[in-house]
Amino acid sequence: MKKPIENYLEFNIISRYTRKQALEDGLLIDVSNLAQERGFKIPVSITKQVWNLVITPDDSAKRAGVDETGCLWDVIHMLYTALTTGINRVDKENYNTQELLYSLYIFKNGESKVTTLKAVCLPGDNMEPVFTIMMPEED
């Protein structure tokens, strides 16, 4: 049987990839300005995968009048709604206060479909609370 780690602070950090670096590299996209308009008080970012799969409209969505700002607003608004109303908590028995799964409709390939996203609130580079919106399989 392995002995539990008694003091994880004793380990030397070899490498660290910060939120700031992820934003600079384009792996995270800062959407805090629009999130503040919706009522968020802390920084909000989305992953590049969410941007590509959910925010960027395909040709059929563009023909229907969908644009990136509208898609981004929907993602932020539905997170705000889920947080403030308590709806969309997928698994109440295993509810994790650091992450929330929520759903919204997106328009892709000529049809509207339900998509689930994950929002995580964890400490940022300076231990401040920050939200990251990602696909459920991302971490």
Please, what is the end-to-end C-alpha distance for the chain in angstroms?
29
Please, is 37 exposed, middle or buried when counting C-beta atoms within 10 Å of its C-beta (0-12, 13-18, 19+)?
exposed
pLDDT, tens digit, for every residue of 18-52?
Answer: 999 999 999 999 999 999 999 999 999 999 999 99
pLDDT per position as a tens digit, 68-108: 999 999 999 999 999 888 755 545 555 556 789 999 999 98
How confident is the model at residue 93, as a pLDDT? 55
If you ran DSSP here, which 8-state letter would residue 54 be given?
I
Helix H segments across the chain? 19-25, 32-38, 48-50, 59-63, 68-85
Cα 26 from chain centroid (whole Å): 14
Contact 106, 82 (CB under 8 A): no
What is the C-alpha separation between 25 and 17, in angstroms, rounded? 11
Task: For tokens 């992450």, name the residue.
Answer: 99
How high is the pLDDT of residue 8?
Answer: 52
For residue 10, what pLDDT band results from cuts at 50, 70 and 90? low
What backbone torsions phi and psi does residue 116 show, to the nearest 5 degrees?
Answer: -105, 135
SS3 category, 116: strand
pLDDT band at 1 (very low <50, low <70, confident <90, very high): very low
The residue among 101 and 16 whose pLDDT is bigger is 101
